[in-house]
Amino acid sequence: MRAVLQRVSSASVTVDGTVIGTIGPGLLILLGVATGDTAEDGAWLVQKIATLRIFGDAEGKMNLALAETGGGALVVSQFTLIASTRKGTRPSFNDAARPEAAVPLYEDFVRGLETRLGRPVATGRFGAAMAVSLVNDGPVTLVLDSRLRE
């Protein structure tokens, strides 16, 4: 699984003109599921995301994790994170998990993050055309890959 984390002042996702998920300060998490990903990959990402110290403390240093700040989380599925650009100029999405495999892993990830944070997590709609709006804070943007475990 790959996740792009963006520390935000606010973020929202809209489907068919209706806002279906919104948060104030916290993390916008774009999540891509690859063929062969497992629940273990999702659990690793949940743990890493909840405990990454990327929020400012009283002195403005990045010493606080999302779990400590009470900030929100908005998770949006994004299969394009799994794209390969090795050949040519058109991305290949062959490595992205099919929906029947990806949806349960996406849902497990969301539930795991809710459990770890102790609060609800806002989401987009898997497979829908979504408009994502955000105000990047910092900006702070990180990429995590469960297969690299960095």
pLDDT digits (tens, 9 = 90+) for 12-63: 999 999 999 999 999 999 999 999 999 999 999 999 999 999 999 999 899 9
Does residue 7 form part of some domain? yes
- Give the chain's domain count: 1
Would the pLDDT of 138 be above 80?
A: yes
- Tell which residue, 144, 122, 140, has the closest CA to residue 132: 122
Catalytic residue (choose from 79, 89, 109, 115): 79
In a domain, 57, yes or no: yes
Burial class (CB in 10 A: 0-12, 13-18, 19+), 17: exposed
149 CB neighbour count, 10 Å cutoff: 10
Domain-located, residue 15: yes
Please report the pLDDT score of residue 51 as a whole number. Answer: 95
Considering the domain boundaries, does residue 14 fall inside one? yes
Q: What's the pLDDT score for residue 34?
A: 96
pLDDT score of 74: 98
Residues 92-105: what's their mean pLDDT? 94
Is residue 80 included in any domain, yes or no?
Answer: yes
Q: Which of 6, 78, 109, 123 is catalytic?
A: 78
- Residue 25 token pair: 């300060």
148 located within any domain:
no
Is the pLDDT reported for residue 149 higher than 90? no
d(CA 108, CA 15): 22
* CATH number where 9 lies: 3.50.80.10
Does residue 147 form part of some domain?
no
Higher pLDDT, 4 or 89: 4
Domain span holding position 36? 2-142
Catalytic residue flag (residue 47):
no
User: What is the C-alpha to C-alpha distance for residues 92 and 126, in angstroms, rounded to an integer?
Assistant: 20
In a domain, 22, yes or no: yes
The pLDDT, as a whole number, for residue 150 is 77
Q: How many residues does the chain have?
A: 150
Three-state DSSP class for residue 87: coil
- For residue range 100-126, list pLDDT tens digits in order: 999 999 999 999 999 999 999 999 999
Active site residue 55: no
Rounded mean pLDDT, 2-10: 98
User: Annotated catalytic residue: which of 35, 47, 51, 80?
Assistant: 80
